């Protein structure tokens, strides 16, 4: 990038612009910077810039349009770019969970792919027109139309609305107890940094959401995966034993409709877990991102409901219910409020006022509750359809979780079926699943996978599940016939 290493200045400028045209940073039809602007920005003479543009014209890369300026030619004499540096993708049994996660995230980028792998509401389930109304209202109502920084703690109206909302699961928050964040994982990131240091040990469920595993590893934590029941979540006895060893610095549980296995801790377990953690003075980060997506009649409680000492850092967001792209989440950090507030100031300064305000408006006028009622119904309906299809199309012996809320099915296949193989075969048919090994740092879950039922049910979707079941059946058959 050293602009002093070539003899003629005008040729350097011409070469750099040519590179931008070849790289399609400047596309066919784009206007080039004016001669005057280039002069000013680079401190060049008019004649140098004009000469550079003549040079590009002579290479048939740009053309003048009278009284308008210089444009990239349509069609430009396109030099074929050299092939990109190869990056062999090591998709095989030796993939690390991290590689797998990167791979699965990339599956999003091809619209041909059916994404059973990612848990988020499909656009069809989002109240987009109503949100847009709220956005215009926010734009008009906020000071400076939301272009200024907020107080570090976040939009006060939004925090008050969340405080009211949380009453439903037994929280007596005021707006002072809450800090807004850029989504739930951002809340968890601050929580982890507030209560742990590199080298500490964190106890989590197993299987666990890969985002939590990766975040914990990247912060230098040792991860202890605790035995977890597919219905009732973390095993209390195992937690007791782990805490008694005095090695645990922090716990992190997804206590309702766990990702991936769908478990929910019964009230008695939540109470007992909080009591144990208080006894050992170990903070608990609670990820309740699916708590509002219950299929039964009642909103489940949380561990925070039973927290009297402030050791629970409660995290949530609207990313699974309303608008993932708004990046609006929150944390009730209990006694760790000062630390979390400082971390937010250090790493991000301020949340984005506009989308915070939209969510606040949505909560305030009762639209959120109305929307959730419909979303819960759709998800419940979907979960039944998906489970039915798995029963119909998957090989005998397949086990599947029976979640009472959330987005996910945890599917256990015959031990002979490696779900990384299944993933690779399925991707050839543009079907993306989340193999079990993404959800652990141990050698387990190789024959499991997570399927999201967040995509609307259609006959073509059913066909995709049928294809997937057939692939699983084939792999299972091939393995048993080779024995």
Which residues within the stretch 80-119 sit at the binding site for its own copies (CB under 8 A)? Answer: 98, 102, 105, 108-109
Look at the alpha carbons of 100, 101, 103, 108 in this order and tell me if their dihedral is positive or negative. Answer: positive
The count of chain residues that interact with its own copies, using the rule CB under 8 A, is 95
User: Binder to its own copies among 80, 144, 443, 483 (CB under 8 A)?
Assistant: 144
Q: Contact at 8 Å (CB) between 350 and 180?
A: no
* Shortest Å, Cβ 150 to its own copies: 7
Q: How far is the CB of 84 from its own copies (least distance, A)?
A: 10
Is 257 or 394 the residue whose CB approaches its own copies more closely?
A: 257
**Site residues (CB under 8 A) for its own copies, limited to 291-310:** 297-299, 304-308
Residue number with CB closer to its own copies (35 or 413): 35
H runs (alpha helix) in 196-261: 210-218, 236-244
Q: Is 333 helix (H, G, I), strand (E, B) or coil?
A: coil
Q: List, in sequence order, every residue forming a beta bridge with 292; answer none if it has no partner.
A: none
Cα dihedral value 310, 190, 222, 95, nearest 10:
140
CB of 233 to its own copies, least distance (A): 19
CB 336 to its own copies: min, Å: 14
- Residues 259/306/153/144 CA torsion (nearest 10 deg): 80
According to CB under 8 A, which residues from 205 to 244 bind its own copies?
Answer: 211, 214-215, 218, 220
By rule CB under 8 A, what string of x and - marks binding of each residue 445-474 to its own copies?
Answer: ------------------------------
Cα dihedral 244→250→256→262 (10° resolution): -80
How far is Cα 269 from Cα 254, in angstroms, rounded to an integer?
A: 13
User: Which one among 8, 25, 79, 237 touches its own copies, defined by CB under 8 A?
Assistant: 25
Site for its own copies in 299-358 (CB under 8 A): 299, 304-308, 322-327, 342-343, 345-355
Binding to its own copies by residue 376, rule CB under 8 A? Answer: no
Among 89, 92, 148, 480, the residue binding its own copies under the rule CB under 8 A is 148
Binding segment (CB under 8 A) for its own copies, from list 71-79, 185-193, 283-291, 424-432: 185-193
Q: Three-class SS of residue 203? A: strand
Q: Cis before residue 273, ω within 30 degrees of 0?
A: no
CB–CB of 233/263 below 8 Å? yes
Of the ranges 175-183, 235-243, 436-444, 456-464, which one interacts with its own copies (CB under 8 A)?
Answer: 175-183
- State yes or no: residue 78 binds its own copies (CB under 8 A): no
| Chosen residue from 88, 94, 172, 428 binding its own copies by CB under 8 A | 172
| Contact indicator for 202, 223 with CB cutoff of 8 Å | yes
Q: How far is the CB of 49 from its own copies (least distance, A)?
A: 13
Q: Which residues of 71-87 are buried (b: 16+ CB within 10 A; e: fewer)?
A: bbbeebeeeeeeeeeee
Binding residues among 271-290 for its own copies as defined by CB under 8 A: 271
Residue number, 69 or 477, with CB nearest to its own copies: 69
Angle, helix 156-166 to helix 353-364, in steps of 10 degrees: 40
What is the residue-wise DSSP string for 13-32?
A: HHHHHHHHHHTTSSPTTPBP
Out of 65, 88, 143, 483, point to the residue binding its own copies (CB under 8 A): 143
Residue from the set 73, 91, 139, 238 that interacts with its own copies by CB under 8 A: 139
8 A C-beta contact, residue 408 and residue 259: yes
Q: Which is nearer to its own copies, 241 or 347 (CB)?
A: 347
45 lines the binding site for its own copies (CB under 8 A): no
Instruction: By CB under 8 A, tell whether 147 contacts its own copies.
Output: yes
* Among 14, 131, 221, 379, interactor with its own copies by CB under 8 A: 131
State the minimum distance, in angstroms, from the CB of residue 236 to its own copies: 18
Count CB-CB contacts under 10 A for residue 33: 16
CB of 318 to its own copies, least distance (A): 10
Nearest-angstrom CA–CA distance, 256 and 259: 9
Interface with its own copies (CB under 8 A), residue from 163, 277, 363, 441: 163
Please report, for residues 14, 28, 54, 367, the alpha-carbon distance to residue 58 in angstroms, rounded to integers and kept in the order given: 11, 16, 6, 61
Q: Phi/psi at 392 (nearest 5 deg)? A: -75, -40
Among 58, 174, 402, 442, binds its own copies (CB under 8 A): 174
CB within 8 Å of 48: residues ≥ 6 apart: 9, 10, 13
Q: Does 41 bind its own copies (CB under 8 A)?
A: yes
Work out whether 137 is an interface residue with its own copies (CB under 8 A). no
> Does residue 269 belong to the site contacting its own copies (CB under 8 A)?
no
Beta strands in 221-275 (DSSP E): 222-225, 228-229, 233-234, 248-253
Q: Does 8 bind its own copies (CB under 8 A)?
A: no
């Amino acid at each position: 990038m050293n602009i002093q290493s070539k003899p003629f200045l005008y040729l350097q400028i011409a070469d750099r612009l040519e590179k931008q045209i070849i790289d399609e940073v400047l596309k066919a039809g784009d206007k080039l910077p004016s001669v005057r602007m280039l002069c000013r920005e680079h401190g060049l003479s008019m004649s140098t810039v004009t000469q550079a543009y003549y040079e590009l014209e002579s290479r048939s890369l740009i053309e003048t349009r009278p009284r308008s300026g210089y444009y990239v030619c349509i069609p430009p004499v396109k030099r074929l770019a050299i092939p990109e540096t190869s990056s062999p993708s090591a998709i095989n049994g030796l993939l690390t969970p991290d590689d797998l996660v990167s791979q699965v995230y990339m599956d999003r980028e091809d619209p041909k792919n059916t994404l059973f792998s990612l848990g988020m509401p499909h656009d069809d389930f989002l109240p987009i027109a109503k949100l847009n109304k709220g956005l215009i209202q926010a734009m008009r109502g906020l000071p400076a139309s939301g272009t200024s920084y907020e107080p570090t703690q976040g939009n006060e109206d939004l925090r008050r609305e969340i405080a009211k909302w949380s009453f439903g699961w037994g929280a007596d928050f005021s707006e002072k107890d809450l800090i807004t964040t850029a989504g739930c994982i951002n809340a968890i990131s601050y929580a982890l940094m507030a209560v742990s240091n590199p080298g500490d040990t964190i106890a989590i469920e197993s299987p666990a959401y890969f985002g939590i595993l990766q975040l914990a590893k990247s912060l230098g934590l040792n991860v202890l995966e605790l035995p977890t029941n597919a219905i009732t979540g973390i095993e209390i006895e195992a937690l007791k034993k782990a805490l008694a060893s005095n090695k645990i610095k922090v716990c992190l549980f997804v206590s309702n409709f766990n990702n991936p296995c769908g478990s929910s801790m019964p009230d008695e377990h939540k109470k007992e877990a909080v009591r144990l953690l208080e006894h050992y003075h170990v903070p608990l980060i609670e990820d309740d991102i699916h708590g509002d997506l219950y299929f039964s009649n009642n909103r489940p409680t949380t561990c925070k409901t039973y927290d009297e000492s402030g050791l629970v850092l409660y995290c949530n967001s609207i990313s699974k219910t309303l608008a993932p792209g708004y990046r609006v989440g929150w944390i009730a950090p209990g006694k760790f409020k000062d630390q979390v507030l400082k971390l937010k100031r250090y790493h991000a300064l301020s949340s984005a006022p506009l989308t915070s305000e939209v969510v606040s408006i949505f909560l305030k006028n009762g639209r959120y509750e109305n929307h959730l009622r419909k979303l819960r119904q759709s998800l419940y309906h979907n979960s039944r359809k998906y489970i039915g299809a798995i029963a119909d199309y998957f090989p005998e012996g397949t086990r599947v979780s029976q979640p009472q809320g959330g987005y996910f099915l945890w599917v256990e296949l015959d031990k002979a079926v490696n779900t990384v193989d299944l993933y690779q075969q399925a991707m050839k048919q543009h079907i993306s699943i989340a193999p079990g090994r993404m959800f652990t740092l141990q050698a387990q879950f190789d024959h499991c996978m997570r399927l999201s039922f967040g995509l609307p049910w259609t006959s073509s979707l059913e066909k995709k599940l049928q294809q997937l079941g057939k692939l699983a059946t084939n792999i299972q058959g091939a393995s048993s016939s080779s024995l």
